[in-house]
Amino acid sequence: MENHKKESIEHKWEVTFELPTLESEAKLLHGFCFVGRDPVDFRPMIYKQHPKLKEMIDGTEDKDEFLKKCREYAESYIKEKLETLKQARDNFQAVWERDGGDAVVDSLCEEFEVDKEILKNGIKANVSINPICPRYLDKMAYSLFYEFSDVYVKKVSIHEIIHFLNFHKWRELFPETKRNAYESPHSEWILSEILVHVIINENQDIQNFVENSKSNVYMPWQKILVEGKTLVEYFTPFYLEHLAGKITFAEFLQQSWTAYKKNKVEIEGEINKK
C-alpha cells in the first residue's frame, strides 16, 4: 500500500478485490470502536484481532484523538502486513473468478428481476484489516477481512451482493422508503439481515458456490423466537414458496415485510435488549 494509494487489478470481472486506503481503514476502526454500534456491538470482535489497538485507545474519550490513534495503529499494522494483504487480494480475486462468482451474481439478478445495468460500474471489495464486513449501498462496495478462508470470502461477498440487489428491488416495491431505513437499526435493515441468510441457505446455486456452507443471523439474534421458530426458520417458508414458483421474488419480499411488521414489536424488543 505504497503511499497509501488505492491499488486495484484491471480485469473483466464485475467484482474487483483491492486494497483500501489508510484513511478508510482508520475511519472503520474508529466508527466501530469509538461508541460501539447498535443494535450489535462489534468491538469485542475487533479487539480480539487487534489487542494492541485496544491498549492504544483505552481511556481515550476525545473523538478526534481516538481517530488519530486508530490512524496511527492502522498505518503501522498495514506497513507490517502489506505483502500479506496483497497476497490475500490476489487470492480472493482468483477464487472468485475460478469458482464462478460472476455467474452466481448473474443468476441472482435474474431471480430478483433486477437489471444488471445497476452493476455497470462494478462492485468493489476492500481487503481490510478490519474483521467486520460493512457494505456501502451507494458505492456498491464492501469490506473483507484479509485472513478469511476461501469459502468465507465467497460467502461474505454473496451476502453483501444480495443486499445490493435486495435493496434495489425494495426501492421498486416501496419507493416511499427513506434512504436511512436501509441501515442499522431500522426495521428494513433488520429484515434484510434475516432474509439474506434464508436466501444463502436455500438457493442451490449459492450453496454450490459456498460449498454447502450454511449461514445464520448475528449470534445475539439467534435466540429470538417467533411463533416458536428462529428468525431464519420463520422466514424460510416464504422463500421456499418463491423457489417453488408459487410467488415472485417481489411477492416474497412483500410477504416477508408483512410478516415482519406483524411481529415487529417482539423481534425488535428482543434485539434492543441491553
**Do 72 and 191 reside in the same domain of the chain?**
no
Segments forming the whole domain that contains residue 195? 165-271
**Do 15 and 138 reside in the same domain of the chain?**
yes
**Do 138 and 201 reside in the same domain of the chain?**
no
Residue 4 lies in a domain: no
Q: What is the pLDDT of residues 49-83, one digit of tens each?
A: 999 999 999 999 999 999 999 999 999 999 999 99
**Do 106 and 46 reside in the same domain of the chain?**
yes
Identify the domain boundary among 149, 179, 204. Answer: 149
56 in Cβ contact with 73 (< 8 Å): yes
Residue 85 lies in a domain: yes
Q: What is the rounded average pLDDT for all residues in the chain?
A: 92
**Do 104 and 61 reside in the same domain of the chain?**
yes
Residue 188 lies in a domain: yes
Identify the domain boundary among 149, 176, 209. Answer: 149
pLDDT at 6 over 50: no
Residue 187 lies in a domain: yes
**Do 95 and 16 reside in the same domain of the chain?**
yes
At 13 the pLDDT is: 54
Q: What is the pLDDT of residues 14-23, one digit of tens each?
A: 899 999 899 9
- How many angstroms separate the CA atoms of 130 and 146, rounded? 8
Single-letter amino acid, residue 140: M
**Do 125 and 250 reside in the same domain of the chain?**
no
pLDDT bin (cut points 50, 70, 90) of residue 2 is: very low
**Do 131 and 26 reside in the same domain of the chain?**
yes
The share of the chain scoring above pLDDT 90, in percent, equals 87
pLDDT at 274 over 70: no
At 177 the pLDDT is: 96
**Do 171 and 201 reside in the same domain of the chain?**
yes
Residue 102 lies in a domain: yes
Residue 2 lies in a domain: no
Residue 5 lies in a domain: no
CA 100 to mean position of chain CA atoms: 20
Residue 249 lies in a domain: yes
Question: Whole-model pTM?
Answer: 0.90
Q: What is the pLDDT of residues 176-215, one digit of tens each?
A: 999 999 999 999 999 999 999 999 999 999 999 999 999 9
**Do 144 and 170 reside in the same domain of the chain?**
no
**Do 141 and 78 reside in the same domain of the chain?**
yes
Q: How many structural domains does the chain have?
A: 2
**Do 65 and 138 reside in the same domain of the chain?**
yes
132 in Cβ contact with 102 (< 8 Å): no
At 56 the pLDDT is: 95
